[in-house]
Amino acid sequence: MIKVAFQGEMGAFSQDAAVKLFSEDIDFLPCISLKDTFQAVVEDEVVFAVIPVENSQAGSINETYDLLLTYSLNIFAEAILRISHCLMALPGEDLGDIRTIYSHPQALAQCQEFLGKLSAEIIPSYDTAGSAKMIEEKQLKQCAAIAGRRAAGIYGLEVLASEIENNVNNYTRFFAISKQKAKPAGRSKTSLVFTAKHMPGALYSILGIFATRNINLTKLESRPSKSKPWEYVFYADFEGHLDGEVYQEALKELKREATFVKILGSYSQAEQQLA
């Protein structure tokens, strides 16, 4: 049975993403931090780790991109998951009884409109599913957590309100990372990181490498390089698998034009079902 690591407690959205990628018939390794999930793969505790990459409302998860640059692992697969939040509490509690609500700060922000209608103290916590686990373990009455529906089932909580997020178009993109490389699929995507030369038109020239070959860039984002102040690396995604001849040609030219190139992985492109 495949073992998959993810950050957070059982019931986290990353676990939902792992199920979407690999089915329910897998073993799970919950980890405290994102770095721990990478280490679990490096140390062969698991074959895969599932990590959040970006949210359609909040943008990229910077820690994930920094870790992808640091570790020599491959992006093996991609999943896009609709993030639907539920308010949950101990059995028998009513919505009007709730005086305290716990959840991760990002989840609280994504449910701000709903929370503004309640007379409850809002307390940020380290994890959505972890908040649900705490309420169950400590049997906290008049308290509720915001988490995914899976967490309610795991910790025996009742859902008092569902789909409480501000925007139904709330999606998170996840990667499965591994020592393994993915084989070409019908619709593939490639992720890489590069550094451009410090000269006029350097980035323009690099983008032209893809444009002249009709390669569609789906993402381009800069991040601090961490090695030198005010230097930046660029993360890019494009449609296609590096095994293809045109993509190999593009990569060769990119290596000539850029001062640094790292391939993060070629993998099956996820299908997105809009709400």
Residues 6+ positions from 20 with CB-CB distance below 8 Å: 79, 81
CA distance 8 to 103: 12
CA distance 210 to 217: 7
Strand ranges for the chain from DSSP E: 3-7, 27-31, 48-55, 59-60, 74-82, 86-89, 100-103, 121-124, 143-147, 158-162, 171-178, 188-196, 217-224, 232-239, 258-268
Q: Which residue among 13, 48, 174, 194 is the active-site one?
A: 174
DSSP assignment of 191-204 equals EEEEEE-SSTTHHH
CA distance 159 to 94: 10
Based on the residue annotation, tell me whether 174 is a catalytic residue of this protein: yes
Based on the residue annotation, tell me whether 172 is a catalytic residue of this protein: yes
Q: Which residue among 64, 128, 172, 190 is the active-site one?
A: 172
Say what angle helices 202-211 and 245-257 make with each other, to 10 degrees: 170
Counting every residue written for the chain, the total comes to 275
Q: Which residues are tagged catalytic?
A: 172, 174
